[in-house]
Structures are given as C-alpha cells and as structure tokens.
Amino acid sequence: MTEILGNIILVGETGTGKSSIINMIAGTKVAPISDGAAGCIFEYHSYVLPVHGRNFRFFDTAGLNEGETVGTVEHSVTISKLYKLITRLDGGIHLLMLCMRGPRIKNATHQNWKIFHEILCKKQVPSVLVVTGMENEENLDKWWWNNRGALEDQGICPDDAACITAVRGRTLRDGCRAFDDHYEKSLAKIQNLVLNRVLLRTPHINKINWFYEVAQKISFQWTKIREAKEIQKIADACYMSTEERARFREELAKIDIW
Ligand SMILES: Nc1nc2c(ncn2[C@@H]2O[C@H](COP(=O)(O)OP(=O)(O)O)[C@@H](O)[C@H]2O)c(=O)[nH]1
Ligand SMILES: [Mg+2]
C-alpha cells in the first residue's frame, strides 16, 4: 500500500468550502458540495489524495454551525463521532485546517476553533486557517494582515493562514472560468501549507490519546475523571442543554472506547 504521510482534518461551518478544497486538491469532484443552508447529515468522509506526489489522508468533517439547534440526536452523534475520530486516529493528526468563509468572522469560527483546536486537539496539533470566498479581493492575503489581530483577540491563533478561492467561477466567453487564476494560486497555497506544515515539521505529532495513552499507564479511574472533564468542556463550548449533555454522554458510551 502507498505510504500515507499525514492525516489532515478540515473543520468549519457548513458552506465554508471544505469539500471544495478537497476537490481542488483532488483535481476532480470527489467530495459532494453542499448547495443549500442545510448540510448533508454525515460526520466525516476521508480521502487519500496526493500533494506533489505524496499521499495524505484528508478528513472532510461536518463542522459545528452557527445558530444550529443543539439537542438533536444528530448533533450528539456528530460530535461524538468526531470526538472519537480525533482522539483515536491511527498515526495521529498532523494538521488541522479550520475553514471559514471570508470576509466576516462568525461566531462559528470561534466555536469550531475552540472545540477542535483547543479541546479536542489540546493545542498540540499544527493548525491553519483557510479563508475562502476571497476571489473579489485584489490582494488575497490582505484580509489576513488586516484581521489577524481581531482573530487573535478571540483566541484564534493559527500557525499559518491562506486566503483563497476554492471555486473556478462561471465560464467566460473564451471558455476560461472567471477565477481560474485565483484558483490555481489558491491550490498552490493549500499544497504549500500541507507540505510545509506536515512534512517539514519535526518532531512527529503523536496520537493525542488523552485517556487512551494514560489508560495503559495510570489507573482506569483517573482516566475516567480526565475524560469527564474534557466532555464537560465540549458540552460547554457547544452550549449544550442538560438534556443534550446526557445524550452526548449516551452517544459516547456507545462508542467502543476501551
Ligand atoms: N464564491 C465562492 N464560493 C465558494 C468557495 N468555496 C466554496 N464555495 C461554494 O460554497 C458552497 C459550499 O461549498 P462546500 O465546499 O460544499 O462547503 P462545505 O459545506 O464546507 O463542504 C458551494 O456552493 C461552493 O461552490 C469560494 O472560495 N468562493
Ligand atoms: Mg462539505
């Protein structure tokens, strides 16, 4: 089997362009694009894709959405499955890609950063911000320079950022597409982010098994307490109701942790 050099997880609200980025890297449509407000019901899909001839596994996830009604079974199932994916992924996570649609910074960006980068990845995984929808900006990176401070004020401190367009736009009379140029540059930026952050990074980021690893070393009881604390944090960050918390725990219990 071809060697897979790293696991890359894309997170962010529905409609921020995660699937489009996957398709851009693939060079063809492999991930379904969401067309309306409601995202498709899924937790994550994974794709092995080459970047400059090296294979990486990309995870297209169902992010947390602004204004989404928590307390639904789907919501608990989604969070539980993502929780399992992130905490037990074989080989660990090499890069977290937080996607947002520019230019406005929504609460969902903050919430997704907090849940995925801070709580689930325990701030141990290199994280980059990918801002899509930037095709009308004269200088794509200017947004990042102008907004970096505001993001940092909200605690969103990525290791790197790329302002891109993940679509080619409408077809013009000459057969070219409106954003072809931006799109090609965007693809190069994403490829560089992956290669720079994953390949050139030492030491290798190990699996974040906050209770898995300690379970073998320390007592079972201790890990239970630790787990409970992390679950509490996620529940708080998702503004879960008491009922939702109970459901979340129920869903987690169904997952074969041990
Ligand atoms: N204008 C523009 N539209 C985009 C961009 N990226 C994605 N889209 C569109 O936004 C919608 C949602 O994209 P999708 O990749 O499905 O987002 P996901 O829900 O995060 O996977 C689709 O209609 C895309 O064509 C972008 O950079 N610019
Ligand atoms: Mg999608």
Residue 79 lies in a domain: yes
What CATH number is associated with residue 38? 3.40.50.300
Averaged pLDDT for residues 134-156: 91
pLDDT category at 124 given cuts 50, 70, 90 is: confident
Higher pLDDT: 222 or 104? It is: 104
Site of tokens 């000459």: 174
The Cα 138–Cα 24 span in angstroms is 21
**Ligand 2 centroid from CA 229, angstroms:** 30
Average of per-residue pLDDT across 3-16: 92
Bigger pLDDT: 159 vs 65: 159
DSSP codes of every residue in 91-130: T---EEEEEEESSS--HHHHHHIIIIIIIISTT-S-EEEE
Ligand 1, closest atom to CA 99? 20
Q: Measured from the CA of 166, which atom of ligand 1 is nearest? A: 27
Task: Give the number of the atom of ligand 1 that is nearest the alpha carbon of residue 186.
Answer: 27
Average pLDDT taken over every residue of the chain: 82
For residue 230, is it within any domain? no
Ligand 1 pocket member 166 (CB < 6 A): yes
* CA pair distance 251, 243, nearest whole angstrom: 12
- Closest-approaching ligand to the CA atom of 10: 1
Amino acid at 76: S
Residue nearest to atom 1 of ligand 1 (CA): 133
Domain contains 25: yes
Report yes or no on 135 lying in a domain. yes
CA of 45, nearest ligand number: 2
Find out whether the beta carbon of 39 lies less than 6 Å from any atom of ligand 1.
yes
Does the residue 248 lie in any domain?
A: no
pLDDT value of position 86: 82
Neighbours of ion ligand 2 (CB under 5 A): 18-19
Q: Is it the case that residue 139 has pLDDT exceeding 60?
A: yes
What span, in angstroms and rounded, lies between the C-alpha atoms of 19 and 255?
A: 26
**How confident is the model over 157-179, as pLDDT tens digits?**
999 999 999 999 999 999 999 99
Beta carbons of 14 and 39 less than 8 angstroms apart: yes
Higher pLDDT, 78 or 137: 137
The predicted-structure confidence for 178-217, as pLDDT tens digits, reads as follows 999 999 999 999 999 999 988 766 544 454 444 444 334 4
In this prediction, residue 67 has a pLDDT band, given cuts at 50, 70 and 90, of: low
Nearest bound ligand to the CA of residue 103:
1
Cα(35) to centroid(ligand 2), Å: 9
Q: Answer yes or no: is 242 within a domain.
A: no
Domain containing 148 equals 4-209
Total domains in the fold of the chain = 1
CB 172 within 8 A of CB 130: no
13 within domain boundaries: yes
Residue 102 lies in a domain: yes
Report CA(177)–ligand 1 centroid distance (Å).
16
Q: Measured between alpha carbons, how far is 204 from 6 in angstroms, rounded to an integer? A: 10
Tokens matching residue 248: 């979340």
Residue of 9, 23, 33, 179 best suited for mutating to test ligand 1, as the one with most atoms within 8 Å of CB? 33
**Model confidence pLDDT, tens digit, residues 209-250:** 444 443 344 344 444 555 667 778 878 877 777 887 887 777
Give, using CA atoms, the residue closest to atom 9 of ligand 1. 17
Please tell me the number of the ligand nearest to residue 100's CA. Answer: 1
Among 117, 69, 19, which residue's Cα sits nearest to residue 78?
Answer: 69
Q: How far is the CA of 166 from the centre of ligand 1 (A)?
A: 7
